Amino acid sequence: MSDDREGEQGEPSMRAGSETTRETATAAEDAPDAASVAGDDTPAFEAARYPDGSITYPAHPVGPGGEAPVGTVDLSEHTAEVITWTTSTATPPGVREPNHVAIVEFDVDGEPVRAIGQATTGDVDIGDEVEPVYCDRLRDPEAGIREPASQEWDGFRFRPVE
Amino acid sequence: MEDVAIIGASMSQFGQRDAWIRELLAEAGQACLEDAGMSADAVDHLYVSNMASGEFEGQTGVPNALAHDLQAVPAYTARIDQTSSSGGAGIYAAWQSVASGASEVTLLVGGEKMTHRTTAEATDVIASLTHPCEYKHGLTLPSFAGLTARLYLDTYDAPRESLGKVAVKNHRNGVDNPHAQFRKEVDLDTVLDSPIVADPLRLYDFCPITDGSAALLFCPVSVAEEHADEYVRVSGIGGATDTHVVHERADPTTMRGVVESSDRAYEMADLSPDDVDVAELHDMFTILEFLQFEDLGFAEKGEGWRAIEEGRTERDGELPINTSGGLKSKGHPLGASGVAQAYEIVQQLRGDAGKRQVEADVGLACNVGGFGNCVTTAILEGVDA
């Protein structure tokens, strides 16, 4: 056991296998090129609305009030406020490195809705206004442990509003 | 309902081990039976706390394997997976089995074999607990820690240095733990100058990847009274969950699972936070020590960071936290960690903690899975038979 294993959950450059991480992360860097502001042909940033007026992202079979969703809301039509953010330099296989991520809060007609996702830049701060930007592949589905067919891999990043 | 006692405890060397999961589990299990002076054929139930032996090693069915390796057949077996809180969940299951009368003697062994995987692979195995909407963005447990640490420091005007002091304290405690992965002190400058991992958290804010195992032997207090000169009583235990999707929590700096599980444990034990003499908290990341310290009722919300600044959580402080070195220094073999936390409390209550010994009649262990997704809190008391 050597001391350079300290903090292994966080520092790939200190472990064997980091080359693989970088290669796959580099491949995943293709994804930002696909980013664009949501338009008519992009999927919706879909949140669920429940009978009690609450909205969640993602949708759940049952909402906070105990009832099934009655509709959807497209969050891509709204801007949001950054609640907190981080830049991760220790990313799993197929994830860009560094990976900027943020928790944001939308205000949908007075109803708060939180979401999490990648940010287009690390140059953000708590309280900043951001807008959703569509990305057709957020990470390489083939590189990680999860079955690629089990979920979707596109989604929305958050970009600061100028 | 039977009062439940712990009459045996063990943990293996934590760190980078040559042993694989079956060997690690057998090592701790055998040592625990020896500690209790019990033979394997007395074991009615055998539980194994383990998150991912299949994913890490391609070895499933570990409870049955362990029953055979220990010659505990035909004991009833089950694997307890609750991610990083598998150990705590195992304690809950073992307590339940004895308290209900379903088992007279229950052996709990927690273990994980991780270090043969790269950091990226291990991080991905652990991150597989996340919701698809998190996983596709590459969210990891360290990134949740970074997100929460930034919000905590900003909301409560806490100094970044206070997080670093948690690492310094727990490394200092780990020096005196012969089972710890790291037995070296670090200074605050080293912590604060280490590479950024999930801004604002740095390398030394994170626990290592670890191989290891730990075990506990449970029986009714009535049996313990006859069998042992001293034992530890499970005075209170509570388990709870929080949302799977982390960003849906109203206040990301509050771990509702910690609040709920500890409320239940305090109520069952008829004790309050003021009665706790020593505690092991799940410091997978330094920020988690502050959150649990507050959510267990040891400080007001947003005030937990002041405890480390004032030295209150040091080994010679009013409430020593992580005398074992915590996950930070001792290591974090996922399924073993919750069991090893209780092992440290048992050592403290029995007066067997050596240089780490503090004065304690009541100890608490809080084991957290995911980023507060699942939590078990156990309150233990030392008893002379």
Predicted ipTM of the assembly: 0.95
- pLDDT, residue B10, reads 98
Query: Least CA distance to B202: which residue of chain A?
Result: A10
Per the CB < 8 Å rule, is A6 touching B203?
yes
Does residue A2 belong to any structural domain of this protein?
Answer: no
Confidence of residue A40 (pLDDT cuts 50, 70, 90): low
Q: Would you call A14 helix, strand, or coil by DSSP? A: helix
- pLDDT, residue B384, reads 87
Confidence of residue A39 (pLDDT cuts 50, 70, 90): low
- A121 touches B: beta carbon within 8 Å: no
Neighbours of B20 (CB within 10 A): 16
Q: Which of B120, B136, B147 minimises the CB distance to A20?
A: B120
Q: Which of B16, B138, B199 minimises the CB distance to A95?
A: B138
- Residues of chain B short of pLDDT 70, as ranges, are none
Class of B4-117+209-227 in CATH: alpha beta
- Between CA B4 and CA A100 the distance in angstroms is 48
Contacting residues of B for A91, CB less than 8 Å apart: 120, 123, 138, 140
Domain regions of chain B by residue span? 4-117+209-227
Flag the least confident range among A3-17, A32-46, B338-352. A3-17
- Between CA B93 and CA B87 the distance in angstroms is 10
- A152 touches B: beta carbon within 8 Å: yes
Per the CB < 8 Å rule, is A88 touching B146?
yes
Confidence of residue A6 (pLDDT cuts 50, 70, 90): very low
- DSSP symbol at A161: -
User: b vs e for B98-121, b when ≥16 Cβ sit within 10 Å of the residue's Cβ?
Assistant: bbeeebbbbbbbbbbbbbebbbbb
- pLDDT, residue A162, reads 83
Q: How far is B119 from chain A (nearest CA, A)?
A: 6
Q: Which of B123, B207, B284 minimises the CB distance to A90?
A: B123
Give the structural domain span for A95. 7-160
Which among A2, A3, A6 is the top mutation candidate for probing chain B, defined by the most B β-carbons within 10 Å of its own β-carbon?
A: A6
- A48 touches B: beta carbon within 8 Å: no
Percent of chain A scoring above 90 in pLDDT: 73
- Between CA B89 and CA A25 the distance in angstroms is 35
Contacting residues of B for A126, CB less than 8 Å apart: 150-151, 154
Give pTM, 2 decimals: 0.93
Per the CB < 8 Å rule, is B146 touching A87?
yes
- pLDDT, residue B244, reads 97
- pLDDT, residue A9, reads 47
- B155 touches A: beta carbon within 8 Å: no
Q: Domain tally for chain A?
A: 1
